[in-house]
Structure 1
Amino acid sequence: MKHAILFAAALSLSACAVVPNSPIVDSPHEVAQQGSAVGLLKPVQLGRAVVTPMRVTEDSRCPMNARCVWAGRVVVETRIDGIGWRQTQPLTLGEPHTVRGITVTLVSVMPEQQTGKQIGSAEYRFVFEGG
């Protein structure tokens, strides 16, 4: 009986183990794999880092059904979690950002802008590369 209690206690503690050399992410969402299109507040694993798009701070892209002089840009406030550190950084679509030897690039933002239609925050999807 004594061994059964010790085994049960050890088993319950093993479920809370922290995997060494991996970022700690405090998110209720599953961590998606690199290349996945994720919504706001949904983390994605990029090698040794986990990135989470927090909010869109600018979306001035030219609508796909319009002619523009300037293509515009998208800026997304993004949390980057590494092993023992965290940084929040505005990432601009297509511009790499390097922190602590890890380069993160926002490579895609969906949906495309359209004239006469506002994109709701729940509709956005982001693809990141790096690690």
Structure 2
Amino acid sequence: MRAFVFAALMLAACASAPAGGGTPPDTSNLPQHIREDLAQREAALREPGIVVAAIGQTADLGGGLRVRPLEVVEDSRCPQNARCIWAGRLRLRVNVEGVGDREITADEAAVETPRGNFQLVAVSPGPWTDLPRGAVPYRFGFRKA
């Protein structure tokens, strides 16, 4: 009987566990323009071939290529509701299994590894001056190149 209850609880936990880098946070308290942008970014994270991971989670890109975001080193992207003279960039420190830590930049050339190449192709949330810091956790979309 205990084994049955334990198995049922484990299945329930698996069914409710967020897949692919977690579920989007509750954004009902954010301004409409930010909610719309987050919806577009979530759609980009769900595109075919994209594997999503948040900080500390692992994106398994197949063929032994596993990437784990460790920290955002720089997020100087120009907020969408501001004027900037430089577009900025997002730099991310990741751990590539079997290779070690690397620093990558969003939307740049593919990162070469012995287990295949990959790119950081999507980031949520977008940059906004009126998005409270930490209100929406980062989620990253990787694609095998």
Please report the TM-score for the alignment, with normalisation by the length of structure 1.
Answer: 0.66
Q: 1:41 touches 1:54 (CA, 8 Å); kept in 2?
A: yes
Which residue does the alignment assign to 2:74? Answer: 58
Structure 1: gaps (5+ residues): 1-28
User: Alpha-carbon deviations, 1:109-130, whole Å to 9, x = none?
Assistant: 1101111445329610100011
**Distance across 2 between alignment mates of 1:58 and 1:118:** 17
Q: Which amino acid in 1 is paired with 2:79?
A: P
Are 1:47 and 2:33 matched, yes or no? no
**Distance across 1 between alignment mates of 2:115 and 2:59:** 18
Structure 1 36/103 Cα, relative in aligned 2: closer, same or farther at 3 Å?
closer
More strand by share: 1
Deviation at residue 101 of structure 1 after TM alignment: 5.1
Q: 1:35 touches 1:129 (CA, 8 Å); kept in 2?
A: yes
Deviation at residue 32 of structure 1 after TM alignment: 4.1
User: Alpha-carbon deviations, 1:7-50, whole Å to 9, x = none?
Assistant: xxxxxxxxxxxxxxxxxxxxxx9984952432101111112211
**Distance across 2 between alignment mates of 1:66 and 1:72:** 12
**Distance across 2 between alignment mates of 1:54 and 1:31:** 18
Deviation at residue 104 of structure 1 after TM alignment: 1.5
Structure 2: gaps (5+ residues): 1-16, 22-48
Q: Which has the larger radius of gyration?
A: 1
More helix by share: 2
Q: Please state whether the residue corresponding to 1:105 is helix, strand or coil.
A: strand
Q: Please state whether the residue corresponding to 2:53 is helix, strand or coil.
A: coil
Q: Which amino acid in 2 is paired with 1:74?
A: L
Q: Where do 4+ consecutive residues of structure 1 move more than 6 Å?
A: none
Q: 1:37 touches 1:125 (CA, 8 Å); kept in 2?
A: yes
Q: 1:39 touches 1:124 (CA, 8 Å); kept in 2?
A: yes
Aligned residues: 100
- What does residue range 91-106 of structure 1 map to in structure 2 within 5 Å? 91-95=104-108, 96-100=110-114, 102-106=116-120
